[in-house]
Structure 1
Amino acid sequence: MFADLFPLTDAGAVFAVLLLLVLVGPMLVRPLRLPDLVGLIALGMVVGPNVLGIVSGQVLIHALGFVGLLYLMFQGGLDLDLEGFVERRRASILFGTVTFVLPMLVVTGVSLAIGVPFLAAVIIGSALTSHTPLSYPTIARYDLARNPAVTASLGATLLATVAALLVLAVASAGAEGNQGVGYWLLFTAGMVLYVGAMLLGVPRFTRWFFRGLGQDREVRLTYLLSGMGLAAVVAGAIGIEPIVGAFLAGLAFNRFVPDGTVIADRVAFLGRSLFIPAFLISTGMMLDPVALVTDPATLTLGVALVAAEVVSKWGASTVSGRWLGFTANERGLMFSLSVGQAAGALAAVVVGQELGLLGTAEVNAIILVIMVTALLAGVSANRHAPQVPPPGTEGRSLGKRVVVPVSNPDTIESLVRVAGQVAAPDSGAVVAVNVLPFDAAPEQVRANRELASRAERAALAVGSEVNTSVRIDASIDGGVLHSVVEQDGTCLVMGWEGQSRRRGSLFGSVIDRCVAISPVPVLVCRPGIDEPTRRVVLVVTSDEVGFGHDRGLVLAAEVVGRLTRQAEVPSLVVTDLPEDELRHRLDHRIRPSEIVTEPTVLRALASRVREGDVVLAVTPPATSRLGRGAHRVAQAARGRTVVVVVPR
């Protein structure tokens, strides 16, 4: 009776079984304090063709599993802390080199000692020197994505995976007889062109697309996923493994998917809930436990490879971690991220089988390594991640989380545009907040939610990601500052009427109180009559560069640099300082297109300001009110957008 029913062939039934396994797998292993991925792999093995045979050779599950493999690498590229990677590139290079060379030597040597032929041993070595960050979801759950050890490990993932796949390509080319110079020249040229197109061309196209056709989140999500698939297909077409293409696609889209935004949550949710579990289940279906038990050669090879891979990866993590000054728990995170095998190992299995170099024994042994290392990766992450404190906000870039209080319908678009330009260089997000008093009527709440929706549309229109919030608080300034803390803000942009005489409104004394106690820098913005930014004008007087005031000038120069880069416009500095002194104080932070030096700065500003200008002024950090100086700059700007920069 059941022989006629199984294996399942109906697509709906197969999909139902898959989702049931995704639901039940984690529930079975959590009481045992084992990682979710262990339950998924084990259930995949049980229902697969080698045990119960409930699901056998299904294209649907294998297709979803392959997408999950791509998704895992894609997510790693999206979440990689690019700033931290650049700052710690030496750590990534060091760990990537050690975690490739040491396992390659150990695993290949062990394989040769057992009697595996040379080319097959090299392929097995390449399979187990790369690594897939299977424990990354656990580490991300503890908010450790920006930890230096995690950043170094993710960077090392790219280096070790690419190096392992190059070794695999050399071994497969040797087996097929493709050893000519022409073959390798074409392969190298294709890889260089592909990587250049992914890391230079794709981000520019994505920025153009998000500002134009991609102003809807559903469209953006579809664009990101299709880009991942297309990058993998093109990579495979030119001889690079698709998983490398997926990782590079994640790097290319990294700056357009800020942490904590709606689009980032949707991408992560789709992978965690379906694609990555499908990949783990499909991996379990490949294991034949009967062959492991009944064939001594398979079991011996599997145990030897597990020992060689685990010991070498642990040694690489320990040596590199100690050299880099990481704690024992951080070294545990490095081990958990580098010990897991999936992507490169499966690629090597497929290539080795196609070439006839790997038989059933080698394949089962490598699948055993994948299962055991997946277990170790999860256990290590669960053990060490809770012991590592999350990185603080100190040293975070200005544009990571730009908080913008919105209440005036006439200025929403202008404020959000400035905030988006500040956030863009850091792939940051705009947080539009609307603060209402406790006694706000339901009609006020609905009206202000509509204002928040307008802010969201305005941010999407300029290519930025945005989160919105309508907050009830005892006071407006308290609500604004509480939002900065709760949203993990790095900068506050506040609207201003251009004067400081009014009291009791969001654009009067409220700003003064926020400026006085804000934990982050404040950009006080008087929106102008022009929408497109055509030039950025920085006003610098001798009052702003006195003792203790250079912080304001440094911050203003950074904001000028962000606005000019994002809008691709020139900059002008109007000052009463000698040009040499000004350049010395700017210290090459910006390279203005023009410097105007005149004793009367405001008169020079009024005579040179023009349509499309954004004017920046500096307020010393000790100032509790905006003061007349900023008010006079706003008057001299003649209706143009004015941003007063107040450092923390």
Structure 2
Amino acid sequence: MHTIHDPAGVFAVLLAALLFSAWLSDLLPMHIAAILPVLGIILGPEVLGIIEGGTVLQILGSIGVMYIFFSAGLSANIASRTARRSIVPTSVILKQVFIWTIMPSMAGIAVGLAAGASFIRACAIGLFFASAGARSALKLNKAKFQEQASYGMPAFVPIFSALCLLVLDTLMSGADARSFMLVLAFSFIGGGLVWIVFPRLAALFLRHVKIKGSIEVWFLLFLVFGAAYAGTFFSIPAWFTAFMTGVALSAAAAPSADSELNRIPVRDDIFIPAALLFMGVSARISGILPTGNWILVAVIFVIGGLAARILIVFLSKRFALVTEPLIGLAVPFASFSLAISWILYGSGLFDSVLFLSALALAIISSIISGISMKQGSSGAEAPSAAGGDKSRLAIPNRILIALSKPSSIAQLVELSGILHGTANSSPIFPLVVRMPEETASQQSADSETLLATAVMQLSQMQKSALPLQIEALNAGLGIIDSAIQKNADTIIIGWNKPPRLSHAFFGNVIDQVVSGTSQMVLVARAQFPWKQIKKIYVVAPVLVNRHPGFAAALQCIERLAEATYAHIHFIVAEENAEEVQKIGKSLASFNSAQTSHFHSWRDIPSLIQVSSGSHAMIALISARPGEASWNPAFERLPHVLAEKNSAANVLMLYMPAFLPEEAQASEYQQPLPEPLAESSAEALLAEAVRAGRIRVDMQTSAIADGIYELMFAALPHTEKNVLQSVADHFIEMVQRQPIEIEPGVVLLHDRIENISYPIVCFGAHKKGFRLSTLDVPVQVIVIILVPHNQGAEEHLRFLAEIAALFHSHDLRERLIAANMPENLLSQH
């Protein structure tokens, strides 16, 4: 294989490795920092030989290692921790020091000695075991590893690791005792000067700089690399100077909105990946195989590292230092730990076996950490803001969706899933309001079908759903009462009426909800899936920046832009354009937004040009009538824009009127349904197999015959006319409004008399049944029969568990592949 030496080729390989690692990290519960070094080994000279650790990659990698240590120093977050120091008892601090540093260090020393290493090498292993957790993860992993409660750690962990690494690295440099003491002295003096001078210098510069943005980054990087270069004249390692610069700047970044250093920009987009790839490319693996005990050493190293993490979790829970389940396995061995292992590898304290063992430990710990954080993370994803800024609301968080028509369910649920965010474990509430004048049996069946469809779609999106079914004389009042009862902060309603036939804002129900609530209300009209949005026009009224709910409206738009990679075009009144842009630039998605100004409301339609197939969305931010930023001229604008731009999605955002404390209240929160456990899932399948309610490799040619076969298998002793009636109802349902758990899997459900517990049937047809209402042939039929007196919420919760069984246990593939029902119990 031809080795690439040209800088352009090296850079192209680096970007390809980064993109592939990002894709693999999204696919697997694995930290991207653990994937890149493995790719480096594969692409390196000792495997494929595509790339070598030449000058280009070495320069980028050296800069990346300094970035890692600088970011680790910033993660210490000294300022916010110092502000809370007076309220933290000394006993708690001592327990943290022991649990997070001393205990894993001792475990590492014990592992090193057990593997036959020298004492100083055993100390290096102990340092590595105590190094995990510095928040220097790549930005591409933000959504997966962003929970502060699960991914944070005491500030002294990275500081302890850096100081110990300095001592060990200096010892291995071969210097005599005098030189050793001089290097340490210069390092501490240099760190002290950085601590004193840099925060003041940075604050002075950032306060007076007129060109905001990249110039701030350049100045901070100048401090890092300038200090690192100056330190080399005194034999101070460049990585240590970069780390101390990060610590010093984190100490100056006070947690207040007025601080110039409150949001220090660190760009790790390419240099940290280059460092991680360079580590793998430069690692030597050719000399490992001849050594006989390398497998034993690696196994002892990995087991010891995981044991140290588990001890941190156990002792932290034991002494009540944390409350989060598993706390992300006390955070994985990520980029900071790998950088430390690289320094130890370069100094000779780690050989190739130990370095590759450290990489294996990083991979395994990242997988376990990702799984545990996914299961144990809690809370809403909210925009970062200072505590005193009351316009920054942690919403949308608890979202209620008002359902009325089957045709709009998919669009409303999709919108709610996007606005819910990626790290929000609060439930989504699908709601159906029943009218008393309708027949009880018909309204119950129709409303449960609507809710079941919504629950299935939310389950596919891996969102927690608590379906609601209420009876009310007035639909608007029912929605308002349900939102209050469930403490929903956001209400989503569909808008289906032709705009030119109405002279009010929308329909009566929407008017009642808007005027009767203080929550954020989103009125949506979808002409195409929300995920396909390419451009978002945002119309903001005059004085919108003074509204307390403006930040929440921006949060909605930002989540839509992040999920769809859509470009944002602001349309704002000229007199307050500067204030609106200032607020919008605090969110990443608005930094590159285009802006147009209007002088009067009549100018707005001419500023929005939506062509057919352009997949544009119009978002109108509105206050409620009587509020300062509301204008009577705004009343007709949604209809004018929707009529003129009939191909566009339209979203009307009524900003919330409550304060953050009210938005974040949790007295009405209910526990989320537990996911279907492995044992419960297998027990459900085993019971269905024993009862003969599973048909695999069905030979019927029509789906109606398949439904009849499953019904008679489910209730063999029931009268045929009763079974015939239920089966006919199912056939009508699947032809009129089928519910898909996933493509190719159709769910049918109904209530019947004379059963005391839910009954589940599964049928598989390898070729699939063709239905005109579905794009994919139906290969699996799921029938659920529940007792007639079972509650609606319990019934729908059971449907969600069945959907989870398909998503988490590959039941569709197992049913299609099985030749007999008993095969299902041996395939998993």
Contact 2:217 2:265 in 1 (8 A): yes
CA distance in 2 between counterparts of 1:394 and 1:27 reads: 25
Q: Secondary structure at the match of 1:152?
A: coil
Identify which of 445, 458, 469 aligns with 2:572. Answer: 445
1:545 equivalent in structure 2: none
1:389 equivalent in structure 2: 378
2:143 equivalent in structure 1: 141
Q: Secondary structure at the match of 2:191?
A: helix
Identify which of 302, 305, 308 aligns with 1:309. Answer: 305
CA distance in 2 between counterparts of 1:219 and 1:144 reads: 27
Contact 1:198 1:252 in 2 (8 A): yes
- 1:215 pairs with 2:211: yes
1:297 equivalent in structure 2: 293
2:241 equivalent in structure 1: 245
Q: Secondary structure at the match of 1:473?
A: strand
Contact 1:103 1:128 in 2 (8 A): yes
Write out aligned runs for 1:126-525 (5 A).
126-131=127-132, 133=134, 136-137=137-138, 140-141=142-143, 144=146, 146-147=148-149, 150-153=151-154, 155-169=155-169, 171-172=171-172, 176-178=175-177, 180=178, 184=181, 186-187=182-183, 189-213=185-209, 215-254=211-250, 267=265, 270-271=267-268, 273-327=269-323, 329-336=325-332, 341-352=337-348, 358=349, 362-386=350-374, 387-390=376-379, 398-399=387-388, 445=572, 447-448=574-575, 450-452=577-579, 472-475=620-623, 518-519=659-660
1:577 equivalent in structure 2: none
C-alpha offsets along residues 485-530 of structure 1, whole Å, 9 cap, x if unaligned? xxxxxxxxxxxxxxxxxxxxxxxxxxxxx99954479xxxxxxxxx
Contact 2:553 2:621 in 1 (8 A): no
Contact 1:43 1:281 in 2 (8 A): yes
CA distance in 1 between counterparts of 2:625 and 2:202 reads: 37
Distance 1:297 1:54, change over 3 A: same
CA distance in 2 between counterparts of 1:400 and 1:370 reads: 43
CA distance in 1 between counterparts of 2:356 and 2:201 reads: 42
Write out aligned runs for 1:581-596 (5 A).
none
CA distance in 1 between counterparts of 2:359 and 2:578 reads: 51
Read off the aligned partner of 1:59 and give its amino acid letter: T
CA distance in 2 between counterparts of 1:480 and 1:165 reads: 59
CA distance in 1 between counterparts of 2:364 and 2:256 reads: 28
Q: Secondary structure at the match of 1:341?
A: helix
Read off the aligned partner of 2:143 and give its amino acid letter: R
Q: Measure how far apart 1:45 and its partner are.
A: 0.8
Distance 1:286 1:304, change over 3 A: farther
1:491 equivalent in structure 2: none
Q: Secondary structure at the match of 1:62?
A: helix
2:48 equivalent in structure 1: 52
Q: Measure how far apart 1:47 and its partner are.
A: 0.8
Write out aligned runs for 1:90-101 (5 A).
94-101=95-102
Contact 2:44 2:51 in 1 (8 A): yes
Contact 2:42 2:48 in 1 (8 A): yes
Distance 1:23 1:519, change over 3 A: closer
Contact 2:302 2:360 in 1 (8 A): yes
**Greater mean alpha carbon deviation, residues 192-201 or residues 235-244:** 235-244
C-alpha offsets along residues 20-53 of structure 1, whole Å, 9 cap, x if unaligned? 1112233346545444334322221111012111
Contact 1:100 1:129 in 2 (8 A): yes
TM-score (norm 1): 0.55
Q: Measure how far apart 1:328 and its partner are.
A: 5.3
Contact 1:314 1:335 in 2 (8 A): no
**Greater mean alpha carbon deviation, residues 195-204 or residues 13-22:** 195-204
Q: Secondary structure at the match of 2:52?
A: coil
Contact 1:339 1:373 in 2 (8 A): no
1:62 equivalent in structure 2: 58
Q: Measure how far apart 1:375 and its partner are.
A: 0.9
CA distance in 1 between counterparts of 2:626 and 2:660 reads: 12
Read off the aligned partner of 2:622 and give its amino acid letter: A
Contact 2:69 2:239 in 1 (8 A): yes
Q: Measure how far apart 1:19 and its partner are.
A: 1.1
Write out aligned runs for 1:50-129 (5 A).
50-78=46-74, 81-82=77-78, 84-86=80-82, 87=84, 94-129=95-130
C-alpha offsets along residues 159-218 of structure 1, whole Å, 9 cap, x if unaligned? 331342244156437x5332x4x853x455434433333333212111211122353312
TM-score (norm 2): 0.45
Contact 2:3 2:50 in 1 (8 A): yes
Write out aligned runs for 1:15-54 (5 A).
15-28=11-24, 30-54=26-50
Higher relative contact order (CA 8 A, sep 6+): 1
Distance 1:17 1:396, change over 3 A: closer
2:607 equivalent in structure 1: none
Read off the aligned partner of 1:303 and give its amino acid letter: V
Q: Measure how far apart 1:58 and its partner are.
A: 1.4
Percent identity (aligned): 19
CA distance in 1 between counterparts of 2:176 and 2:242 reads: 29
**Greater mean alpha carbon deviation, residues 212-221 or residues 229-238:** 229-238
Read off the aligned partner of 1:349 and give its amino acid letter: Y
Q: Secondary structure at the match of 1:445?
A: strand
Read off the aligned partner of 2:344 and give its amino acid letter: A
Q: Measure how far apart 1:349 and its partner are.
A: 1.7
Read off the aligned partner of 1:21 and give its amino acid letter: A
1:616 equivalent in structure 2: none
CA distance in 1 between counterparts of 2:659 and 2:5 reads: 62
The count of aligned residue pairs is 440
Distance 1:480 1:373, change over 3 A: farther
Read off the aligned partner of 1:473 and give its amino acid letter: I
Read off the aligned partner of 1:177 and give its amino acid letter: D
Q: Measure how far apart 1:383 and its partner are.
A: 1.3
Q: Measure how far apart 1:481 and its partner are.
A: 10
Q: Measure how far apart 1:351 and its partner are.
A: 1.8
C-alpha offsets along residues 357-386 of structure 1, whole Å, 9 cap, x if unaligned? x5xxx5211221231122133213311223
CA distance in 2 between counterparts of 1:265 and 1:83 reads: 12
Q: Secondary structure at the match of 2:21?
A: helix
CA distance in 2 between counterparts of 1:24 and 1:290 reads: 25
Contact 1:432 1:452 in 2 (8 A): no
Q: Secondary structure at the match of 1:342?
A: helix
C-alpha offsets along residues 404-463 of structure 1, whole Å, 9 cap, x if unaligned? x9979xxx9xx9xxxxxxxxxxxxxx9999xxxxxxxx998362574348858999xxxx
CA distance in 1 between counterparts of 2:339 and 2:292 reads: 27
Read off the aligned partner of 1:72 and give its amino acid letter: I
